[in-house]
Every structure is written in C-alpha cells, then in structure tokens.
Amino acid sequence: MAQTKIDLRIKNLKEHLKKENDILCEVVDKFRELDKIAYKLGFLHPDKQSYAIQVSWWPMISVLGTYSAGKSTFINHYLNQPKLQRTGTHAIDNKFSIICYGDNKNVSTLPAIAIDADPRFPFYQISQELTNVADDDAEQHLDTYLQLKICPSEKLQGKILIDSPGFDADNQRNSTLRITQHIVDLSDLVLVFFDARHPEPGAMRDTLEHLVAKTIDRSDSNKFLYILNQMDSTAKDDNPEEVVAAWTRALAQTGLVTGRFYHIFNPDECVELPENVKERIEKKSQTDMEDIHARMEQIGIERSYRVIGMLEDTAKNLEQNIIPQIKGLLQRWKQRVIWTEISLDFIVICLIGLWFATTDNTVAGTWQQLIGLGTISLGTIGALVFIVGLWLHLKIGDMVANNILKKLQTEITDEQTREGLTRAFNKNTGTWNKLFIWFVDNPIGWSRKTQQHINEVLGSVNNYVQKLNDKFTNPSGSNSIDK
C-alpha cells in the first residue's frame, strides 16, 4: 500500500521519539491501532487524519520579555550552551528561534521551512499557521521571523524552547506581536523576562500591558512565570529591595497580584556585587533559578504522562462516545426507514380499500380484469411491483439518511466529531445496507474483535505508566533520565 503523508509524518515522529523516549515510541503504535479502528469505522480519514498527530508530543516553553533583558543568556545558561543564542547589549536578533533536541555534536540552524517538516511541533504546518496570523507578505519572509535550531543538550529532551526577539510594545511590528500571541497560546510554559536595570518600570506601561495585563485573565494564567532578571547589575547602584518593590507595584497596577515573581541574575554574567547584599542576592537568585528550572523540567516529565493519558482518553472516547453515537444514528435511520415504509404500505392499502369501497369493483373482478388485459402477465406485474418497491425502498433510505445528516450538522457542535460522524454514517448507509436495512445492527468496522482490541489498548495504559514511573523515579540509580 502506498505511503500516505500521515504514514511519513508518523515515521518521522517515531524517529525523533526513538532518540528521546522509547516508551513513547511504543505509545505511537498504540495510537496507530486506534487509528486503524477509526479508519475502518469511517470516523477518521485515512489520508488526512490520525490520533497520533493530534497529540502535542513536545511541550513548548517560550521565553518572552523586554529588549536585552537576558532571555537568550538565560537559555544558553540553562542548556549549558554558551554559544547557542547570540547575546548582546543591543537588539541583535529579531527572529523567533525554535530550539529542539538533536543528537548531532554541534548546534545547527535550519531555515523556517524545516519547521514544517518536523513532526515535533504541536501544530501541523506551522508556516501556514503563522502566515495566517502574520502580515500578508509573511509567507515569503517567513525566514525573517523564524529559525529552527537543533541542539545536543540533554535538557532539551522532551521539550521545545522558543527564544523571542525583545519586546517593545511601541516599536513592535504587528506581525511580531501576532506571532508572539500565537506562540503564547500554544506554549505550555511562558517565561516573561524584565530587566531590573530599568529603574522606571512605569515608563514601559504599554509593554507591561501586553506582557502581563493580557495574560492574567486567561484560564491558563498559571503557565506564566514573571522574572526580574539582572538583579546583580541593579544591586550595584540601587537598593535591590526597592527595585523589586517598584516592579511589584508596577505589576500590581496591571492587575498581577498573585503568582510568583522571580528575581534572578545570570551567574555567568554577574558583575561584582557589593558585600552588604552579595549573600542575600545570590541566595535569592539561586533558589528562584532552581524553581524556574524545576518548572521547566517538570514540563518534560508531565508530557509523557499526559500523552499516555491522552491514549486512554482517545480509546475510551472511541468506545464510550463515538461508537454509541454511530450506533444511535444507525438505529435512528433504520427505525425511521422501516416506519416510513410501514406507514406508506398502510396508506396504499387504505387507498386501495377506499377505492374498492367507493366503486362497484370487487377484488376478484379487478384482478381478472388486469390479467385479462392479456398484455400484462402475472410475472410482469410481480416484477413491476418489485422494482417500484425496491426503488422506493432505496429512495426512502436516502431521504431519511439525508434528513438525519442535516440534523447532525446542528446537533454536534464540535467540527471534527461532526465530520467524523458524517463520514461514518455515510459509510453505513451505502446501497448494501439500504437493501438489507432490517439486518443493520453494528456499524461497519465494529465487532467483538474490535472491542477486544480497544480493551487491549486500554490495558496497555497501566503498563506504560508503570514503565514511566520506573524511568522517572530512576530506581537503577543511573543519572540519565530520558524525558
């Protein structure tokens, strides 16, 4: 069988997963087993859809913030790759860098187009997505906005980091603002950096409005961490507590009163600290840095459990929602067709009865007359009745099916489920099932064996959770924990 785009994408996905987490590689196969069931049911389109690609396999952590706040320096330090992202005192990078794990020795930079072909992203065809959100000419200039960096740091296993250009609400190009928004929406964790050297946070009200005020009312607001960076520089000239207090007030004015506000500096870049504050500042920065790193680590581990949870949810959804819905539609169709036909038969019998009752004709007499016409034989009458009956039967089957489909479009709000149910229902209302509608019971592609198959997939979930526990609790004492 020819390989579909989906097959290629899955193959690619497994190759990447193999390098990072072999358990998840097996989980892909389980998703594919569910795919096969859904294809047979007609619920998923075999060339275009797969449960496996609906999963966000690599969680995203994005790093946003003001110009020169130290975003890139923070990423380089976290990954222990001093040369990964360019850093400097004035804005040098105006691209979003999407940073992924790769097992080559060196860091490699690939153009934006490479992002499309990489199945690690939680969205299919990112360039298309970004073209939609960015300027009209963004498609040609996608390379000016995005680049993909492949980096061998083990810390990147199981996650994607995004470094963004410095944020300045006044000078920001519309497209960059929209891309930032899109990335924020897709991220599992967002680190928002501020530069403690700017003593007047009030002067950047618009920027704070964008980076803070718009984030606090979101349902996923706990994914945002606010970080005041370069605390070492500020400690040299000002009282650091006052700087923090000024920032806390500025943030409170934008509405941020809860949630943690971290104060850090980068130990690789640290200027000499005054003795009276050195210990205090260093300790605070260290614990805050550890907390931030722990949140980042957690994202990688959480995703493995989340993916397995999704496998369980998908199998249960198929068994407990989709199948009953398809069955329900089929029953509705079958009953309505049968009742329409019974009603129609009843009406015809009544009409014939009425005709006999209101005319002088008798049943036997009419019968004799029909046969007596000589041109029509008994066989021909039988065949005619059969053909008209069959035609009517198929027509009624079609009409009722169309009626049910029309209702389905308003009954089911979720687009993907609606499309899937429509496709599965169409598959079940073909000529064969229309002809033998009385025997229609189980949806096509659903049998006791399929049920067993789903049970097996559900049974494997506990097994995977156990394997992950073993991996992350690391009972062997080995240091290399895959994420």
Whose Cβ is closer to ligand GTP: residue 83's or residue 448's? 83
Of the residues 8, 91, 352, 363, which one makes contact with ligand GTP according to CB under 6 A: 91
Instruction: Tell whether residue 71 is a contact of ligand GTP (CB under 6 A).
Output: yes
Going by their DSSP bridges, the two strands 146-151 and 96-101 should be labelled as parallel
* Gap between the Cα atoms of 167 and 171, Å rounded: 8
- Residue 288's binding partner out of ligand GTP, Mg ion, none, with CB under 5 to 8 Å set by partner kind: none
Tokens read off for 39: 């294809």
Edge-to-edge strand ranges of the sheet holding 146-151: 108-111, 146-151, 96-101, 160-163, 60-65, 189-195, 224-229, 261-263
Instruction: Tell whether residue 483 is a contact of ligand GTP (CB under 6 A).
Output: no
Of the residues 15, 22, 92, 416, which one makes contact with ligand GTP according to CB under 6 A: 92
Query: Which H or E element spans position 357?
Result: helix 323-358
* Gap between the Cα atoms of 349 and 343, Å rounded: 10
Q: Which of 247, 245, 240 is nearest to 271 (CA)?
A: 240
- Residue 230's binding partner out of Mg ion, ligand GTP, none, with CB under 5 to 8 Å set by partner kind: ligand GTP
Q: Which stretch binds Mg ion (CB under 5 A): 29-37, 66-74, 297-305, 371-379?
A: 66-74
Tokens read off for 425: 């229902």
Q: Residues 93-112: x/- map of binding to ligand GTP (CB under 6 A)?
A: x-------------------
Q: Residues 26-65: x/- map of binding to Mg ion (CB under 5 A)?
A: ----------------------------------------
Instruction: Tell whether residue 73 is a contact of ligand GTP (CB under 6 A).
Output: yes
- Residue 68's binding partner out of Mg ion, ligand GTP, none, with CB under 5 to 8 Å set by partner kind: ligand GTP
Whose Cβ is closer to ligand GTP: residue 90's or residue 105's? 90
The Cβ of residue 64 has, within 10 Å, a number of other Cβ atoms equal to 25
Applying the rule CB under 5 A, the residues between 82 and 141 that interact with Mg ion are: 93
* Gap between the Cα atoms of 180 and 175, Å rounded: 8
* Gap between the Cα atoms of 460 and 308, Å rounded: 10
Q: Which of 475, 54, 61, 115 is nearest to 302 (CA)?
A: 61
Sequence-distant (≥ 6) Cβ neighbours of residue 164 within 8 angstroms: 62, 63, 64, 65, 71, 96, 180, 183
Quote the least distance from Cβ 159 to Mg ion, whole Å: 19
Applying the rule CB under 6 A, the residues between 141 and 200 that interact with ligand GTP are: 165-166
Applying the rule CB under 6 A, the residues between 225 and 254 that interact with ligand GTP are: 229-230, 232-233
Q: Residues 252-271: x/- map of binding to ligand GTP (CB under 6 A)?
A: -------------xx--xxx
Query: Binding residues for ligand GTP, how many (CB under 6 A)?
Result: 25
Tokens read off for 463: 């097994």
Sequence-distant (≥ 6) Cβ neighbours of residue 63 within 8 angstroms: 71, 74, 75, 161, 162, 163, 164, 190, 191, 193
Tokens read off for 220: 């996923």
Whose Cβ is closer to ligand GTP: residue 28's or residue 69's? 69
| Bridge partners, 151 (sequence order) | 101
Instruction: Tell whether residue 428 is a contact of Mg ion (CB under 5 A).
Output: no
Whose Cβ is closer to Mg ion: residue 70's or residue 119's? 70
Whose Cβ is closer to Mg ion: residue 211's or residue 322's? 211
Binding site for Mg ion (CB under 5 A): 71-72, 93
Binding site for ligand GTP (CB under 6 A): 65, 67-73, 87-89, 91-93, 165-166, 229-230, 232-233, 265-266, 269-271
